[in-house]
Amino acid sequence: MLRPAFSIGVLTILLAATPASAITAQQKMETCKFGADDQKLAGPERKAFLSKCMANEKASSAKPGAQ
């Protein structure tokens, strides 16, 4: 009877301590590659986009106010 309550308490603490945006570098690279494919980027433009994406910066190809 006490074991499930303890498990729920520990799980709650662990989930609260984990950031929601914690992803691996591989998952981030897959997301960045998808974005580059979606924009049909190739060559140096693709490389620049991927490096900025992996560094968590906004891509220079995105024009401000163009939404």
pLDDT score recorded for residue 65: 43
Say which range, 31-35, 39-43, 61-65, has the weakest mean pLDDT: 61-65
Confidence of residue 59 (pLDDT cuts 50, 70, 90): very low
Confidence of residue 1 (pLDDT cuts 50, 70, 90): low
10 Å CB burial of residue 49 (0-12, 13-18, 19+) is: buried
- How confident is the model over 9-25, as pLDDT tens digits? 666 665 555 455 567 88
Q: What is the pTM of this model?
A: 0.52
d(Cα 11, Cα 4) in Å, to the nearest integer?
Answer: 10
